[in-house]
Structure 1
Amino acid sequence: MKNVFSRLFRVLNSSSGHPHEDFLTEVFAELLCDQEMMIDFLGNVLEIPVQEVKYSSIQTQVTFPALPHHQMDSRPDMVIRFYEGQESYVLFIESKLGSPEGTDQLSRYADHLGVLTNQGTNCYLIYLTQYFDEKDVSLILANQKNVVFRQKRWFQIFKWVKQLEAKNIYASKVLDYMEEIGLEDNRQFTPVDVYAIQNMNRLQRMMDECMDGVTDGVMTEHFGKAIQQNNRHTQLKYMERYVKASEQEGRATEVVVGFYITDEDYPFVSVVYEFCPRRCPDVPKVVAAMQNFMAAHPDWRTFNLNTDAEWQGISCDRRLIDFLHHEDHINEIQKFFLEKLKELHEIKVKNPDLYWK
């Protein structure tokens, strides 16, 4: 049987945005509710020299209204408040499991903390990532010299929790879950990894062939030329997808075809129409067009609508395994892409003013 957190995750998988990130935040916040764990975490992981913690509170997904010079509200994953004697402390923790930093996300958080430092509070901004993502502190703290920035990796958290698991039953369950989602401190290649590396070029060529050729021709005809091929590697690193994307007017919307890495045993092969709420001048109009389209095409689904996700929209997905019974996998995937791109073109025909190229 799966670890309890993995079972709960399946129940909560309808969460918008990045569900593993949101779920791990809740799991980790519960661990820090233990006073001894909190003090140890502050001192030995974050290197914040405190001897005692009083009147502590931990909140997750707290929204801070946009400051006058911000374009949007801010919502750090975790906010920790406490006192040591008469000194007050506030920590913003932002966690990333593969996803990229949002638009000026850390700088906006630093600005909010800067307001608190002006009131005499000791403020720390913690950026906690699964993968290496070094930040330029001078840019993040450009206007907030009194805020302290700390950057940590999740494998470091794993090592810290592992030292304490004998004292805390809950910590051992957290470790089980972290192992299952790949946050353990095992930095060794497995035989499967070696095989994947040896076949990396072949797999990439096959995926490229699915998206290029006739697929690229139809995509260009209906939605304009796709962005450069090297963008596919950026998408794979930060968004766990290897795709071809055609950005529309002002990057308000985009049409995407390609391969999406999932929490299931197989990746998805998908065609996507998505919009960026921050850039899209008329979100209700785009959403209405999507809903009208889905009424006639029930195999499409929505994702992330009415959330603070960077990209929201509709997609038509097939599991890669569904194509494996055919003799020519690439040909069948291309057929799927062509069929769904032609369907999607109906939105453009019926709504020519929706920020197309």
Structure 2
Amino acid sequence: MPLSDDGLSITGELKPAYSGWKIPREWSIECFCLEGPTIAKRGDYYYLTVAQGGTAGPATSHMVISARSKTPFGPWENSPYDPIIRTKDNSEKWWSKGHGSLVEGPNGKWWMVYHAYEKGYYNMGRQTLLSPVEWTKDGWFKVPGNVKSDAPILKPKQSALTSSFTLSDDFSGQSLNPQWQFLGEYDTTRFHLNDNGLTIKGKGKSVADCAPLTCIPSTHSYTAQVELFIEGNATGGLTLFYDNKYYSGILADKQNILANLRGWQFPTEKNEINKHVFLKIRNIKSTVDMYYSIDGRNWIKIENSVEVSGYNHNVLGGFLSLRLGLCAVGDGTVKFKNFVYQSIN
């Protein structure tokens, strides 16, 4: 369908351009689901890259398909190397590999960026992978036969970039660090940073409707802890949050420590605190234990633990990942200090 020069209107009729690659019926896929086309130009050809097979579903569902044409309008010839990328068996580390984008890097090297789920860790969401591609003499591209998506590849011969980025946050800046995102909103009147702390005004009546402040864990196993100061009739917490229906964690009101197990919330340690507490989550490969402390040094494990491997798109939909959330619920405020994230090998 042609667009106007400014891209804001349609100037012609819808015409079929490409119908995809025929997936063998015996393959286990989620759906045909032709989607996500991108086009790159190299030499005399335009190369169309699409996703097929469904983003989730079985481990073998998703795939990268390529076709080429001498005009952007077709006709398109499917690559003899299709699927360019695909998970062939659920014994592989990366499942549902697909949705690739072909890019040219430095020194004329070409690469494909794509996404996949990690076996056993669907709740980490779709993760980004990178594979080199090579061009054949007859003008097609493919992933070299000796390259495996679950094995390291040789880095470019230049100095590696270093990064000081960390999920840990002492809230000492003038604005939120980039790892944080409020669920479904960004209300700048609801929070402020001062005195090395982040104060969030309470909202809603539960974790579900409080729009928690979230960040994405980067490792399979970790601890996360934070200090809370509670004012008014607010409840503060540290949760593992998929969406506003599926979450679990540890919380506190002015006096009590609260457990939240899949939305079922109740006091688990009564009359233990006075508006001030440290909370900690310990996640070991989706088995989650929860702790509180009065002084930040001596930790007490609560009775309740939770298993969170099922918090993923294949079970719940939504194409989300399981995130750490800071919650402020109810009438009052919660001040958070010294959020510390530590990976566990």
Relative to total residues, which structure has the larger strand share, 1 or 2?
2
TM interval, short-chain normalised: under 0.3
Instruction: Between the two structures, name the one with larger relative contact order (CA 8 Å, sep ≥ 6).
Output: 2
Q: TM-score, normalization: structure 1? A: 0.24
Q: Which has the larger radius of gyration?
A: 2
